Structure 1
Amino acid sequence: MGTADPLTLVNPEVADRLTCRIVTDHPEISATVARRIVGQAAAFIAASGRQPGQFLAPSELVDHGWHVFILHTVDYAEFCQRVAGRFVHHVPTVEDKTIPGGPQATRGRTLAAITAAGYAIDEELWPDMADCTQCHEGCTDSPNSGKS
């Protein structure tokens, strides 16, 4: 099985809006890199929604894309329903010392989940993990999200 470009998950018009917003919010990020961030955020959200409870988290750069996507609530809700079959919540938590293996293990699990979902990894966008962890239970069935 090959790996798909995760940017194909996002409607091109939505991808353009998200790219512009990332560049506006983070002027140090070029439009080219911002577009790549949108694709990796889409892959992360899709993988997270399919594998709740796996202790996944975005990189710092990918988290910028996720935060921008969430601000476009209608587009984000439609995207989540289409790629994960449900809304993928973002519930930031304080770093939980019970999460197995720390940041490097979380990074490994996250990239493995994205790859298993069939999406290409843009390694340059995953040098570190975001301070804002995804959540306690994969951001789909978190005890903090009010969903069960």
Structure 2
Amino acid sequence: MTIALERPVGTTTDPITLVDPGVTERLTRRITTDHPEVSEPIARRIVGQAAGFIAASGQQPGQSLAPSQAVDIGWHAFILHTVDYAAFCEQVAGRFVHHVPTDEADEMSGEARATRERTLAAITAAGYTVDEELWPDLANCSQCHAGCTDSPNSGRRR
């Protein structure tokens, strides 16, 4: 008996391929509008990494995974497009992938490095390429309005 693999072992796919091109365009526009300092090529990369993060999160329920600050921007842009986001979650995870902000106690415990490594390993294990330049850190997302990367109040908390 021969088992055919969807992709050869050890290879990864650019996660932007998971996102419909029209959705990619909408999300890229949202990111560059909300964050004028982000160029269109970087915004596209952010969309791809957010897609890989969401897919990995959906495939690994119960894991404590977290986005980088840049990827959090992409995740928030995606969530704002609720119809597209719900359809994407169903496609990659078979269920809705909720945004659950980090507990303040978890942030204080100094586990950021371990969480980052666990997140990148989960994305790779799911078969997606990690764009290391977009993962230098983790998002400070302790409660959405005051702490998330794209919050109007985020600069006041630090």
Query: So what's the TM-score if we normalise by structure 2?
Result: 0.80
Give the Cα–Cα distance (whole angstroms) in 1 for the partners of residues 54 and 61 of structure 2: 11
Contact 1:58 1:133 in 2 (8 A): no
Q: Any unmatched runs of 5+ in structure 1?
A: 135-148
Give 1 or 2 for the bigger CA radius of gyration: 2
Aligned to 1:57: 66
Task: Tell me by how many angstroms 1:128 deviates.
Answer: 0.5
Equivalent in 64, 67, 71 of residue 76 of structure 2:
67
Aligned to 2:32: 23
Contact 1:55 1:99 in 2 (8 A): no
Q: Name the one with the larger helix percent.
A: 2
Query: So what's the TM-score if we normalise by structure 1?
Result: 0.86
Give the Cα–Cα distance (whole angstroms) in 2 for the partners of residues 86 and 132 of structure 1: 23
- Number of matched pairs: 134
Deviations 1:21-41 (CA, angstroms, capped at 9, x unpaired): 000000000000000000000
Higher relative contact order (CA 8 A, sep 6+): 1
What amino acid maps onto 2:18 in structure 1?
A: L
Deviations 1:71-113 (CA, angstroms, capped at 9, x unpaired): 0000000000010000000121333339986100000000000
Identity %: 71
Q: How does 1:40-55 map to 2 (within 5 A)?
A: 40-55=49-64
